Amino acid sequence: MKLLVTRPMTDRATASLKARFDVDFRDDTPMDLAEARSALQRYDAILPTLGDDLGTDAFQGDLRCRVIANFGAGTNHIDLQAARAAGIVVTNTPDVVTDATADIALMLMLMTLRRASEGERILRDGEWVGWRPTQLLGHEMSGRRVGIVGMGRIGKAIARRCHLGFGMQVQFFNRSTVSSLDIPARQVPDLHEMLRMCDIVVLAVPGGAATRHLIGPDELAAIGPEGFLVNIARGDVVDEDALIEALHGGTIAGAGLDVYAREPHVPQRLLDAPNATLLPHLGTATEDTRSRMGLRALDNLLAVAEGQTPPDRVA
């Protein structure tokens, strides 16, 4: 099989891919539509990731590709219906990203509640004049009420960290009933009700049309002027314009973000919001996790090459 890997991988994943396939690697930039269409026509398999434009229009013409082994759990950059119609198997790398992503959520929670980004900016800008009893007073994590939107693998991992590490009271909203939890947690059937109950809300839902702008002006108002929002899901789960207004207008107390609606573009007014902690999509950015993601994609590719059902098929 002729394989295209759309971005550089870790050394471990690269060596394993080269050992099993005739592989080409692109540079570290996303595929645009024309490049994606060409790749689908020239390669037996593609290992893409977030940002590669595999929308409806990419699946046109005589396609050679038979498997898209996505590097990452989220597949909202791939038109799954179009791939399915073209006879292309699509897989992802779900559970290997859980711990690293949950860790980023906790880091954003701590940074946001303790105003760490504001403090670092003051220090780097030479504006720190020394310790003061009322400087940058934030909030403690311990014992606070956390609301998790989306109780899948990552949501559960966040809940365990919050409860076991900080004694937080865990509420969650999930569209289906969740019963297999190993910590005390309350499922709240109404999203707005849950948002009003919590000191800090963490978004851990999949991306896509079903969750686009799940958090808009009304939901931000429900979080309230003493509440905080953390997003480690997908950028467009939040109405970014509404969030910017909420941050500047005091509708919510602050936000911690690892994802954005139009990555890598981040609006200047969001950058200017002192009560926003902003990371450049670091959720899975550890050597171990990124290697496991590459190897999991390889497992899926090998299964298809050998005529087997891949373990992580999504289309």
CA distance linking residue 219 with residue 231, whole number of Å: 14
Residues 67 and 8 in one domain: yes
Residue 60 sits in a domain whose CATH number is: 3.40.50.720
* Residue 102: inside a domain: yes
Residues 109 and 204 in one domain: yes
DSSP annotation of 210:
G
Residues 201 and 228 in one domain: yes
Residues 117 and 211 in one domain: yes
**DSSP bridge partners of 187:** 172
Residues 127 and 274 in one domain: yes
* Residue 314: inside a domain: no
Q: Could you list the pLDDT tens digit for every one of the 315 residues in the chain?
A: 999 999 999 999 999 999 999 999 999 999 999 999 999 999 999 999 999 999 999 999 999 999 999 999 999 999 999 999 999 999 999 999 999 999 999 999 999 999 999 999 999 999 999 999 999 999 999 999 999 999 999 999 999 999 999 999 999 999 999 988 999 999 999 999 999 999 999 999 999 899 999 999 999 999 999 999 999 999 999 999 999 999 999 999 999 999 999 999 999 999 999 999 999 999 999 999 999 999 999 999 999 999 999 999 999
| Domain count of the fold of the chain | 2
- Residue among 93, 106, 109 at smallest CA distance from 292: 93
* Residue 64: inside a domain: yes
Residues 130 and 9 in one domain: no
Residues 52 and 156 in one domain: no
Residue 179's pLDDT is what?
84
Output the CA–CA distances (angstroms, integers) from residue 129 to 117, 123, 124, 126, in the order listed: 17, 9, 12, 8
Residues 129 and 52 in one domain: no
- The gap between the terminal CA atoms of the chain, to the nearest Å, is 20
Residues 69 and 153 in one domain: no
Three-state DSSP class for residue 36: helix
**Which burial class, exposed, middle or buried, applies to 239 when counting CB atoms under 10 A from its CB (0-12, 13-18, 19+)?**
buried
Residue 266's pLDDT is what?
98
Residues 114 and 204 in one domain: yes
**In terms of residue numbers, what domain contains 273?**
97-278
The pTM for the full model equals: 0.94
CA distance linking residue 28 with residue 4, whole number of Å: 13
Catalytic residue IDs:
234, 263, 281
* Residue 188: inside a domain: yes
* Residue 315: inside a domain: no
* Residue 214: inside a domain: yes
Residues 258 and 184 in one domain: yes
Residues 146 and 266 in one domain: yes
Residue 274's pLDDT is what?
96
